[in-house]
Structure 1
Amino acid sequence: MIEYHADDYGMFRTQSRHIIDCYHNGALNGISIMPNSPYLAECMEEIKDFKKRLAITVHLNLVEGQPLTGDRASRLIDNDGNFNIGFAKLLFVGFVPVLRRLYYRQIRREMEAQILACREYMNDGKFRLDGHVHYHMLPLVFDAMMDVVGEHNLEVSYIRFPREDLNIYRKVSGKIKGVKLINVVKVLVLNALAGRNERKYKEELVRLGVQKKFFMGVMLSGHMFYDNVKECIPVAADIMADKGLQDMEILFHPGDVTELTEVSQITSKDDLDFLNVNSANRFKEAEALVKFGGGLKR
């Protein structure tokens, strides 16, 4: 089974409507929701009639907007109270014992607040977890997340491990467009981090019954267009079969942010570039989801 998944649902009203249009008119069957967004409750109300048909995931967020724990997350925010902590910095901090302890307390507290804030939105009472810009793969963040899961004895059915098989892209080389060197670096880093987290928590993941899924979405991040993805799926399916996997998550970002009032509220420069400056690419990713769904109204 393929899960056609969109991140960032609930970030803003109009942006979220653009995402859910891909459910009504396309193949979208999974969304990740922004726990700290002031618009989340309203956006979840919009989908209450068909929420059960979507795989809903907590999109743990240390990048965009403000923390649910406010100034208790002082090491993670700027003077305006917005998240302002880089991926590389948190990776480094995780390996320095003194700093790790200081940051861990605040990250764990925020992870707890975000996860529990989404409890009512989870289907069947089971949590699915991932992270905005994949921050949840950082050892410091992953450890905090797993500690929260353990302390609250939460049922977790899925955690996104954004580990991509590079053989896919070697085999379709020349047939796809948009592979960037920075994305190659991201895949290598995330593959290494995913490996560390899977090894450290192997027994716990088995105990929880966390589902394993094949994943695509980082190597072509920003270019998950129909023509690209359709070339990758058959190759990915063969690799999946060899690995004994039956399910795949394909990640898209169809939620452009183009309404001026929403653009003005974006706090992360990277998000601004990705969701607004490159909004044409978000339209193309939405178009891909429609094409994969046959463009039929449900």
Structure 2
Amino acid sequence: MRMMPLLNRLLRYGVVGGTAAAVHIGVLLLLGQWMTLSLANPIAFLAASVAGYLGHALLTFREETGGRQFARRWLLLQYVVNISVCALLPLLKAPILVLVFTPTVLNALIWSRAARFSAKSRHQQNGQPPLLHADDLGLAEGVDAAIIDLARRGQIQGASLLVNGPSATAAVEAWRDLADPPPLTLHLCLTEGHRLPNAPDLPTGFGTLLLASILPWQRQRIAPQLRTVLLQQISRYRQLTGLQRIRLDGHQHIHIVPLVLDAVLDLARSESITWVRTTREPLPEGLSLKLWWRSLQTGGLIKWLVLQLLSGLAIPRLRRAGIPTNQRFAGVLFSGSMFGNALRRSWITAHSPSTIPRESRPVVLIHPARRHAASGMDQETFQQSVAFFNSSHRQKEWTSAQQL
């Protein structure tokens, strides 16, 4: 009896594979009448790949996919791998059997992996939802109003406070007036507007501080000043909120730059830093090409790659220090445009397959704001945020968060 499901799977795989081969041959014969074989063959192979992509998702592995398509990146991976291998093997003078069966084996591995990924994603969607979190409370009145509104509705589970923001005091007072205020997090700000009274000058900019992290003489020069600024913002956070235990993240994710993380870890025990956010973000499924293009245009893919690498370095250090962090994250890939399908797909991908402690739950990040978000903002000090929070995207994030 155990052999029957396997035989059934192999039969379905053969049917889809045979159909894809027939598509390949048919398109090749059709196009071969108007173009050279070297040009027609990759196009025919793409058509066959699409047939296999759809057939294996909807038929061969329907138990894993639930009748939905694989994520599109599996089609791209299968096509690129097979084209590369089919071009390389003849150059290596591989035997005929290797030429014939290598693509078949590779396809079986790729589609099986895609099926396991789809099954895992479906399981997660029925699991524990992530925490929806809003950044930059205290930046401006329009920003604060949107965040307070979402908190009052119970639609966010936390917010990060810019202690040096122009509306920080009023924002904390409004937060305290909530019937059940979610946790607040210190939003460490080093890239703009970070100078509290008597604060030392620091190099500004994410790239500048990242570069300083790998230059020993810069680390030695900046580290004492960075420690002073961090202590000042912790002190201001306690003054505003009355909280002694510190949850910490960073404006523009500056806190996971190695040089900054050094200071955070150095002060963790003495300053009761009990949680630090990281940005390990899985790529969501079901995104349109338009959304991928949006992420590419806005630099989201580059930011995602950089922050994936930095989180990969930060997480083991946090674990060794005994500081909890979120298991997963969403909000870098579409930072600045976390609304509509981008927010929905990121939200679904961030679900946990089982119940986990709050401090480990995935975090989905938004930057909501109402109309005229920059009203009351210190536009000279927070120059990088003026255009960002005046855009209609901030209002769309606010509206989309209400609909989750």
Contact in 1 for aligned 2:175/2:181 (Cα 8 Å): no
Is contact 2:167-2:376 (8 Å) kept? Answer: no
Q: Would the alpha carbon gap of residues 20 and 261 (structure 1) be closer, same or farther in structure 2, given more than 3 Å must change?
A: closer
In structure 1, which of residues 218, 227, 233 is the aligned counterpart of residue 347 of structure 2?
Answer: 233
> Shift in Å at residue 165 of structure 1?
1.3
Maintained 8 Å contact 1:183/1:218: yes
Contact in 2 for aligned 1:34/1:60 (Cα 8 Å): yes
Does 1:198 pair with 2:315?
A: yes
TM-score of the two chains, using structure 1 as the length reference: 0.81
CA contact 1:112–1:145 (8 Å) conserved in 2: no
CA distance in 2: counterparts of 1:184 and 1:228, whole angstroms? 14
- Alignment-mate amino acid for residue 75 of structure 1: L
Match of 2:196 in 1: 68
CA contact (8 A) 1:7 1:32 kept: yes
Give distance in 2, aligned partners of 1:10 and 1:165: 29
Q: How many angstroms does 1:227 deviate by?
A: 2.6
One of 249, 261, 276 as aligned partner of 1:142: 261
Amino acid paired to 1:142 = L
1:80 matched residue in structure 2? none
Question: Closer, same or farther in 2 for the Cα pair 1:143/1:264, shift >3 Å?
Answer: closer
| CA drift at 1:189 | 0.5
If each structure's strand is expressed as a fraction of its own residues, which one has the higher value?
1
- Tell me what 2:296 maps to: 180
Deviation at 1:111, TM superposition (A): 0.7
Return the alpha-carbon distance in structure 1 between the equivalents of residues 265 and 168 of structure 2. Answer: 24
Greater gyration radius = 2
Give the counterpart letter for 1:74 in structure 2: D
Instruction: For 2:343 and 2:257, locate their aligned partners in 1 and report how far apart those are by CA, in whole Å.
Output: 27
1:39 positional shift? 2.5
Q: TM-score, normalised by structure 2?
A: 0.61
Deviation at 1:149, TM superposition (A): 1.7
Asked if 1:214 corresponds to 2:342, the answer is no
Equivalent of 1:281, from 393, 399, 402?
393
Higher fraction of helix: 2
Match of 1:165 among 282, 286, 310: 282
SS in 2 for 1:262: coil
Q: Is the 8 A contact 1:18 1:254 kept in 2?
A: yes
Relative distance call for 1:66 and 1:89 in structure 2 (3 A) is closer
AA matched with 1:132: H
Mark the CA change 1:23 to 1:143 in structure 2 (over 3 Å): closer, same or farther.
Answer: same
- For residues 191-228 of structure 1, the C-alpha deviation after alignment (integer angstroms, 9 at most, x for no partner) is 11111122234221x3x4x1433210010111211332
Kept in 2: contact 1:26–1:290 (CA 8 A): no
1:144 CA drift (Å)? 0.8
Q: Distance in 2 between matches of 1:61 and 1:50?
A: 25
State whether structure 2 residue 213 is matched by structure 1 residue 94.
yes
Per the alignment, do residues 35 and 61 of structure 1 end up closer, same or farther by CA in structure 2, a change over 3 Å counting? same
CA 1:183 to 1:29, structure 2 compared with 1: closer, same or farther past 3 Å?
A: same
CA contact (8 A) 1:30 1:54 kept: yes
Q: Which amino acid aligns with 1:58?
A: L
**How much does 1:275 deviate?**
1.1
Structure 1: tracts of 5 or more residues without a match: 77-84, 293-298
Q: Percent same amino acid among aligned pairs? A: 27
Which residue in 1 is equivalent to 2:232? 113
Contact 1:52 1:123 in 2 (8 A): no
Q: Retained in 2: the 8 A contact 1:226–1:291?
A: no
Could you list the structure 1 runs, at least 4 aligned residues long, displaced by more than 6 angstroms after superposition: 242-246
Q: Could you tell me how far 1:190 is from its partner in structure 2?
A: 0.6
Supply the AA of the counterpart residue of 1:227. N
- Assess, with a 3 A threshold, how the Cα gap between structure 1 residues 102 and 51 changes in structure 2: closer, same or farther: farther
CA distance in 2 between partners of 1:87 and 1:24 (Å): 33
RMSD of aligned C-alpha atoms?
2.7
Asked whether the equivalents of residues 257 and 275 of structure 1 are also in contact (C-alpha less than 8 Å), the reply is no
SS of aligned partner of 2:159: strand
Where structure 2 has 5 or more consecutive residues not aligned to the other structure, the ranges are 1-128
| Superposed CA offset, 1:80-137 (max 9, x none) | xxxxx11111111111111111111111110111122212566874321100000111
The residue aligned with 1:41 is 169
2:183 is equivalent to residue 55 of structure 1: yes
Q: Is the 8 A contact 1:224 1:252 kept in 2?
A: yes
Distance in 2 between the 1:190 and 1:261 partners?
Answer: 31
Indicate how the Cα distance of structure 1 residues 148 and 68 shifts in structure 2: closer, same or farther if over 3 A, else same: farther
User: Do 1:35 and 1:114's aligned partners in 2 also have CA atoms closer than 8 Å?
Assistant: yes
Q: Is the 8 A contact 2:134 2:368 kept in 1?
A: yes
Q: Distance in 1 between matches of 2:371 and 2:261?
A: 29
1:79 alignment counterpart: none
If asked which structure has higher relative contact order (CA below 8 Å, sep 6+), I would say 1
Alignment pair present for 1:128 and 2:240 = no
